[in-house]
Chains A and B, each alone.
Chain A
Amino acid sequence: MSQEEKIKESLINKFNYLSDSVKIVRPRRISIEVSLDNFTPVFAYLAKELQFSHLCTITGLDEPQNLGFIYHLASDAGILINLRTFAPKNNPVIKTVTGYFPGAEIYERELVDLFGARVAGLAAGNRYPLTDDWPADEHPLRKDWKPKPAAEGEVDKNA
């Protein structure tokens, strides 16, 4: 049995509800989809028990009804798990993972700025990557956000 299959089996043994959503995409790539309610125990199990000790990054996605979040977790054996969850756009609240990976702070701030996600438990701090005077209701990676053309003369004012 390959490493990937062992991981799949132990995940399904531990969490019955994952039986349809754990997929081995190719060697060294596993994808899992999990509801927001079940996210924390699965994430904790991967990070603590299965030794997926490196959080590569978090990808945000704008889907028609939801905001999607993919947590890319890597193990020392080179296996990468894409743990996907989602929250409704009208209440896009996820829980912070900085308790497991303090380094996740900047990835979560990116989700806040660029997608308008809200991250429960994320400590106050500098925003990233947008400017301090960026409008609070504009999130550039939302599909309905379009860049505004610069007002005439705006760009070259100080050139």
Chain B
Amino acid sequence: MHNSPEFKIPIGPQHPALKEPEGFSVALKGEKILGVDIRLGYNHRGIEKAAEERTYIQDIYLIERVCGICSHSHSTCFIQAVEEIAGLAVPSRALYIRTIIAELERIHSHLLWLGVAGHEIGFDTLLMYSWRDREVVMDILASITGNRVNYGMNTIGGVRRDISPEQAQEILKGLEILEERTKYYIEIATEETTIIKRLSGVGVLSREDVLKLDAVGPTARASGVKRDVRADDPYAAYGELSFDVITDEACDVYGRTVVRVKELMESYKIIRQALKNLPDGPLTVRAPRKIPAGEAISRYEAPRGEDVHYVKANGTEKPERVKIRAPTLANVQAVKHMLRDRFLADMPIVIAAIDPCFSCTDRMVRLQERDCGADKIINWPSLHAYSIEWHRERGIDFTQLNKKLQDRLAK
């Protein structure tokens, strides 16, 4: 290998291994990465410019679509800034509901990530398990908000939908299943040799590098940097709830895995407290259509890390300027560092370990019968049932496993 020539291979912007367009030019000597050059921007949609041309209310829905997974994160971060400029005192029931949705979103995002990470290291059973369990939280989100992502819960001055006592019960029931499963994932992450060996020492980012490169979220916390906006700069109801900021000293992909699975447990804790202490009262306070001139910056701990929105108002119904910095932009710069001197084969999992953001929103399937061409609409429950039956016919049956889980819960 010592005489092998240097190679430069392009990965992306369109590449089967990437879920979103981004360009990597990887300099290689043998299997070893000498350096990586990253080209971003392929997904830039001009949302900041578009936000200046729309009203604040329209912007909530536009900004919710910055990300398919952290949709509630972005809309909350944006309206917090607007509410601060307008001097609105958002009712505490609304703040609690925002917090509950935020943590449900984190659960859905972290479980999704766990599956992707499993897939990237060839552990597809973990992908199947975690994505199946993720359906529990997706169902909860759908029943409260009407959608699996892009919840449309926020409005300036509060939230648009309440959580009824029945829905609260439904959430608590779902959390029981999720908690049981998460304990199992923590067990896997901390005891399963394959995972520990495959992820340890991969994608190393020291504490100093986190500070230098301004990494955020689980990427920073897995390098021992206790940085979490929920605790440092509390918003919504976080100031009134108790939870631990999970950190790890491993500084590698393994640490990032441990941090995320343990954070799931904190999310359950937060949601239970918020439901127990959910204050009575109105859901919104009346907000003006025209926002008085002023500026505010809002921070929010999205599943991937700190999200930052700056809003400048000019007294009209449209903002003068909206600036958005999503967590992946802060973290992607650390990737270069994590890959240097590592093997090419580590690239997919190292990139996946910062949890770069990609979209998923599917609700209804429209099928066309091959023979007669007739349209058939399948709703979510029947699609769910159909998929279970489809797999059962092919010998994949989770009935026993589900029963075991139910029995464990019943104990």
Contact = CB atoms under 8 A, between A and B. Distances in A.
B325 A141 contact: no
A80 B214 contact: no
A103 B37 contact: no
Given A126-B37, A129-B40, A141-B48, A76 B232 contact: yes
Name the residue among A59, A60, A106 with the largest chain B CB count within 10 angstroms: A59
Contacts of B63: none
B272 interface: no
Name the residue among A57, A78, A114 with the largest chain B CB count within 10 angstroms: A57
Interface string A41-78: 00000000000011111011110000000101010111
Contacts of B39: 126, 128
B162 to A, nearest CB: 29
Interface in A112-153: 114, 126-131, 140-141, 147
B212 interface: yes
Nearest to A53: B211
Contact of A106 (B37, B40, B234): B40
A101 B211 CA distance: 8
Nearest to A72: B297
A89 interface: no
A54 B214 contact: yes
Nearest to A113: B41
Given A56-B299, A128-B41, A147-B49, A78 B312 contact: no
Interface in A79-110: 79-80, 82, 101-107
A74 B48 CA distance: 23
A128 B84 CA distance: 31
Contacts of B296: 29
Nearest to B325: A57
Contacts of A128: 39-41
Please tell me the size bucket of the interface on B.
Answer: 35 or more
Given A56-B299, A61-B321, A103 B330 contact: yes
Contacts of A80: 233, 297, 299
Interface in B196-238: 211-215, 226-227, 229, 231-234
Interface string B348-381: 0000000000000000000000000000000000
Given A103-B213, A147-B46, A82 B297 contact: yes
A127 B404 CA distance: 54
B394 interface: no
Contacts of A131: 41
Interface string B39-72: 1110010101100000000000000000000000
Nearest to B234: A78
B46 A101 contact: no
A72 B215 CA distance: 15
A140 B321 contact: no
Contact of B233 (A57, A78, A82, A104): A78
B323 interface: yes
B329 interface: yes
A56 B41 contact: no
A139 B41 CA distance: 15
Interface string B257-296: 0000000000000000000000000000000000000001
Contact of B297 (A29, A60, A102): A29
A70 B310 contact: yes
Contact of B325 (A56, A102, A126): A56
A125 B297 CA distance: 29
Contact of B38 (A54, A114, A126): A126
For the complex of A and B, the 10 pairs showing the least CB-CB separation, nearest first, are A129-B41, A78-B232, A103-B214, A57-B325, A78-B233, A129-B44, A59-B323, A103-B213, A126-B39, A59-B310
Given A57-B329, A59-B321, 7 more contacts: A56-B214, A57-B308, A74-B233, A77-B232, A126-B38, A128-B39, A131-B41
17 contacts: A29-B296, A54-B211, A56-B308, A57-B310, A61-B312, A72-B308, A74-B232, A74-B299, A76-B226, A77-B232, A78-B231, A101-B212, A103-B214, A106-B329, A131-B41, A140-B46, A147-B46
Interface of B: 37-41, 44, 46, 48-49, 84, 211-215, 226-227, 229, 231-234, 296-297, 299, 306, 308, 310, 312, 321, 323, 325, 329-330, 332-334
